[in-house]
Amino acid sequence: MKILMVGDVVGKPGRYFFMEQTAELKHSRKIDLVVVNGENAAHGKGLTPNIFDELIKGGADIVTTGNHIWDNTKVMEIIDTEPFLLRPANYPEDTPGKGFCIYPVGKKKIGVINMAGRIFMQPPMDDPFRLTEKILKFIKKDCDIILVDFHAEATSEKLAFANYLDGRVTAVVGTHTHIQTADEKILPKGTAYITDLGMVGADNSILGMTIEPVIKRFLTGRPSRFEVAEGAAIYCAVLIDIDDKKNKATKIERIQIRG
């Protein structure tokens, strides 16, 4: 089995490039499942029903999110009804939506958990380590493969989280920073890992946003309106090969495509 996990999609340039490249990758690399982080897909912040549909039609099977999931209130129209739209599981218990799902691929069942970090992140979240432990006890017997999108800022927290789960989940991939890291590997007990997938968005940008307002905020210390950058895009993801007999990751390949 081959699983593609794609970084944060940012705005229209990211959505269009996601749709274009995912279709090509699914065909050329014979990909069985696509997981993408969509929390920045609607104009750089949040998600709407129409844009969720775009991502699904563009090749996504499961859409994960992060701390920007609530930035567009239209997401409330689908957060409780779309079975394969996730938000971080470690929001308070009465938060709308869900933090994990089980997706069938042929005879296999793929569990996907969406979790957020706590270091340098807002708002404050429940402990992702202990909560993931509880979710695993609940879903492990029903899943052949388990994937985790860990939406977090600190590299130390991501590494600690992945090593804590090493051997008990198939893959832990980081999202949130929009910068792809070059540390993809199989951890000692068999879990595939990368600190951050990166993004799908305008290449000549700062994290998918136009450059000048971001610089202005650093120079002045005052708020400035950020806009999604236009132009040629970059596509960042990893392709994970799974042994179909052992349900173990055998390879993780970093993908970076420039438009």
State how far the Cα of 253 lies from the Cα of 259, in Å rounded to an integer. 19
Q: How many CB atoms lie within 10 A of CB 138?
A: 10
Active site residue 27: no
- 128 contacts 162 by C-beta, under 8 angstroms: no
- 153 contacts 178 by C-beta, under 8 angstroms: no
Q: What is the DSSP string of 81-100?
A: T-TTB---TTS-TTSSS-SE
CA dist list (Å): 151 to 37, 170, 230, 246, 248: 9, 17, 25, 28, 23
List the catalytic residue out of 27, 68, 151, 176.
68
Length of the chain counted residue by residue: 259
Catalytic residue list:
68
